[in-house]
Structure 1
Amino acid sequence: MEIKKFKLTDVGRFTDLDIQLAPTAKHPSNVTVLVGNNGAGKTTLLKSLAISLSWLVARIRTEKGNGSHIAEEDVRNGASSASISIAVKDDSLANPNNPDADPEDALFQWTVTRSRQGRKTDAHSSLVDASRLADVYRDELTVIEKASLPLIAYYPVERSVLEIPLKIRTKHTFDQLDGYDNSLNRGVDFRRFFEWFREREDSENETGVSSTALSEISEKFGKDSDIWKTLSQLKASSRDRQLTAVRTAIAAFMPGFSNLRVKRKPRLHMAIDKGGATLNVSQLSQGEKSMMALVGDIARRLAMMNQSLENPLHGDGIVLIDEVDLHLHPKWQRSLIRQLSETFPNCQFVLTTHSPLVISDAKDVLCYVLDDGELQERDGLYGLDANQVLLSVMDTDVRNSEVQRRLNRLLERLQDGDLDEARKLFSELSLELSDGHLELAKAALLIRKLELRRA
């Protein structure tokens, strides 16, 4: 399942905005990235998608379920009503045995509308197709108990990892439909992910050998012993497929990290191996914890909703992530889109970012720049360096504006052949900037070249 396009009318600062999402004929990737200054409307677009999709999720769970509504404060100033329209396509629902089938049969469109209080308007919500698509999935679950469901999830900028609550206070079922629990709510804190992991691992250990026990056997008898080899084989054969999917996803995104697990000594905690050392997850940096929880939560939901797939990470769905680069080191930002596409190949991603590294290091990504309620598609970003993206896409200087002005003046003096003024400017900048400053090094070479010409 994927979103083909959506339309906002009088929502937030958008009067009439139509957006097509990747994949398209021109952009075959499954990733759309939105960039723009703070206040440009990136979050409004993601929230609008989440509102529309919430009606599908609600009606998959119960026939007459209600999704989220457009808040009155999100109706554009001066407008009587606001509406969000969405077109969703699920190619798996097309009839492959009928070559004359209309491809539009796999397209579902619905509209959510909000009228301002005290205003009269003809605008009304139209949710027939949301119900029709939900009925298709409900019918599949009726016939096939473990039929796959599409993941639909929204991760807002408020997401955080404030605690790792391994003591489960409330008993959870973690059934297939529970993959939709809190999937579109704002302020996701990933508590449920950690509770789910603990419960699944408890079940895994009951039918096999725990990681703690295997580690103790290794220390006592060594990994060459027959007992360790036998227990290792037993553990491998009893691995929980859902936990395996989560561990695989985290290892793919976080090189050097492996074997996420729950340990009970010296006290109950979640541990992970990093660079040969075992760490309590609470010891990780905020960026590491955020990445682990985000990727782990996507993988967890896919595993729950695709229990019959050999590789649950290949389930399909729609994932919305606001400020995807939040807390991440530039090295991780650079590979983020590629890893998302490779680890979750059948998920469609709609992302927002402030990082030039995110949008310049992935091929075939559809990138939109938002500015004052308008949307502009930007091509040819793949392979650009960060400075080029900052200048051409994000309209931001690559360095301090005053330093840049003085460097520009130095270059102008050199081009004009004014050696004395160039030396003066160079001397002043050399006192303020580091010895290894690249632009100063270039200027020094030009000054030397000009001196040789004069000589």
Structure 2
Amino acid sequence: MEIKSITLKNIGLFEHLELPLAPTPQNPSNITVFVGNNGAGKTSILNALTISLSWFIARLSTEKGHGSYIAEDDILNGANGATIKVQVCDSVETSVYPDNTARDNDVQWTIAKTKKGRKTNYNSQLTDCSRLASYYRNALSQDAQVSLPLIAFYPVERVVLDIPLKIRTKHTFLQLDAYESSLSQGVDFRRFFEWFREREDAENESGISDEVLNQLKPLAETHQDIWQVLKELQASAKDRQLTAVRTAIRRFMPHLDNLRVRRKPCLYMAVDKNGETLNVAQLSQGEKSLMALVGDIARRLAMLNPALENPLIGDGIVLIDEVDLHLHPSWQRRLCDRLLDTFPNCQFILTTHSPLMISDCKNILVYALNNGKIQELPSQYGQDVNTVLLDVMDTSIRDPEFESKLNDLLDAIQDSNLSQAHQLLRELMAEPTHQNNLELVKAKLLLRKQELRHASHS
């Protein structure tokens, strides 16, 4: 499943906005990125997508289910009503159709809202949404192992809670439970930990745990045939869903490995970091945030695709607001590529403030927003960060006051106004933090060359 386009009327800052989303013929990757200042409307677009997709999830669960509604506060000031329309492409299983013929299922639906006491011609149109959800319910009725599309939204206020020492509430982790809070809560280590522990308990019951295998290793290594049988038994009992989660986290964070639940001396989630075993709670906020995000996407894919040998190739739609939040610049550089490598059939719609996110990945679709206006940008792949900051994000690469004085200094050197140049240089060098500034070092060299040139002509 993927969203081909979204059309907004009177939503947030947008009076009328129609946007195709990647993949497109010009941008074949599965990633669309929105950039812009705070308040430019990036989150409004993600929220609109969330409202529309919530109706598909609701009607997949029950025939007459209700999703989220447009809030009156989301309607453009001065407008009487608003609409959100999405066009979705979904290739439905062959068995769903009466004539057993698979086909690309292009559908669209509209969510409308009229302000109280006003009148408009806007009406919600949910026939296609209900029809698509009905197709999936039919498929589930015929085959409980059929794959379902992932739909998830991770807001800026995504939650990363501490892992609980005790689990007091019993939860179900059935296939449709993968949609629980998928559009409202973001990431939650508590639910992730409970799911992980339940799967690992089942994995250990059906096979040999790593701890037991390590204890048997000294005894069994003298009998290689027995040792080989034990390792094969362990490998065959590995839980497919847990393997998917561990694989996804390892691809994003190669320095972390072997995520597992430890039960002694107390219950906690452990991970090996550069060969050292740590409690996940000991990781940095950035590490925990990324692990929770990637782990949650992989967990939901694993639950929704119970028959896939590799659930990470399942399809779906993932919305992430400020995807660069808490991430080191080196992680920001690789994030888009790793999303595509790890979840190749998911469509990602992201917002960011990081120039590295759009300059280090090929074929992504980038939109720049500014006060309700939107512009599709040419590829920024290979551009240096300063160029992206200046040209795309309209942000100076230096402090504006320092930039102005530096330009005055360079102009004075160029005009051979040496006394003024020396005065400006002294003022700039008065700040201790400027002593080793590369631009000032260059300016000093230029000034010295200009002085030598004048001396040779005198």
The RMSD of aligned alpha carbons is: 2.1
- Is residue 446 of structure 2 the alignment partner of residue 443 of structure 1? no
Q: Is the 8 A contact 1:212 1:263 kept in 2?
A: no
- Is residue 75 of structure 2 the alignment partner of residue 68 of structure 1? no
CA deviation after TM superposition for structure 1 residue 94, in Å: 8.8
Residue 32 of structure 1 aligns to a residue whose secondary structure is strand
CA deviation after TM superposition for structure 1 residue 67, in Å: 0.8
Separation of aligned partners in 1, 2:191 and 2:421: 63
Separation of aligned partners in 2, 1:166 and 1:196: 14
Instruction: Give me the TM-score of the superposition, normalised by structure 2.
Output: 0.93
Q: Among the aligned pairs, what percent are the same residue?
A: 60
- Is residue 372 of structure 2 the alignment partner of residue 373 of structure 1? yes
Residue 319 of structure 1 aligns to a residue whose secondary structure is strand
Q: How does 1:23-62 map to 2 (within 5 A)?
A: 23-62=23-62
CA deviation after TM superposition for structure 1 residue 419, in Å: 2.5
Q: Is the 8 A contact 1:166 1:195 kept in 2?
A: no
Match of 1:98 in 2: none
CA deviation after TM superposition for structure 1 residue 128, in Å: 0.2
Match of 2:343 in 1: 344
Match of 1:399 in 2: 398
Match of 2:120 in 1: 121
Match of 1:409 in 2: 408
Match of 2:86 in 1: 86
CA deviation after TM superposition for structure 1 residue 39, in Å: 0.8
Q: Is the 8 A contact 1:80 1:116 kept in 2?
A: yes
Q: Deviations over 1:289-317 (max 9, x none)?
A: 01000000000011111111121100110
Separation of aligned partners in 1, 2:73 and 2:185: 17
Residue 430 of structure 2 aligns to a residue whose secondary structure is helix
1:374–1:225 CA distance, 2 compared to 1 (3 A): farther
Q: Deviations over 1:133-183 (max 9, x none)?
A: 111212222222211111010011111212212533222221111111111
Match of 2:231 in 1: 232
Separation of aligned partners in 1, 2:158 and 2:210: 30
Q: Deviations over 1:332-389 (max 9, x none)?
A: 1110001001100000000001111111111111111111111111113111111111
Match of 2:298 in 1: 299
Q: How does 1:91-170 map to 2 (within 5 A)?
A: 91=91, 106-165=105-164, 167-170=166-169
CA deviation after TM superposition for structure 1 residue 187, in Å: 5.2
Q: Deviations over 1:73-130 (max 9, x none)?
A: 11222211111100000145699xxxxx998x62100001111112222211110000
- Is residue 331 of structure 2 the alignment partner of residue 332 of structure 1? yes
Instruction: Give me the TM-score of the superposition, normalised by structure 1.
Output: 0.94
Q: Is the 8 A contact 1:156 1:188 kept in 2?
A: no
- In terms of mean alpha carbon deviation, does 137-146 or 80-89 score higher? 137-146
1:91–1:441 CA distance, 2 compared to 1 (3 A): farther
In the alignment, structure 1 segments of 5+ residues that lack a partner are 96-100
Q: Is the 8 A contact 1:112 1:124 kept in 2?
A: yes
1:397–1:289 CA distance, 2 compared to 1 (3 A): same
CA deviation after TM superposition for structure 1 residue 217, in Å: 4.3
Separation of aligned partners in 1, 2:139 and 2:291: 32
Residue 147 of structure 1 aligns to a residue whose secondary structure is coil
Match of 1:319 in 2: 318
Q: Is the 8 A contact 1:158 1:188 kept in 2?
A: no
Separation of aligned partners in 2, 1:337 and 1:294: 14
Match of 1:13 in 2: 13
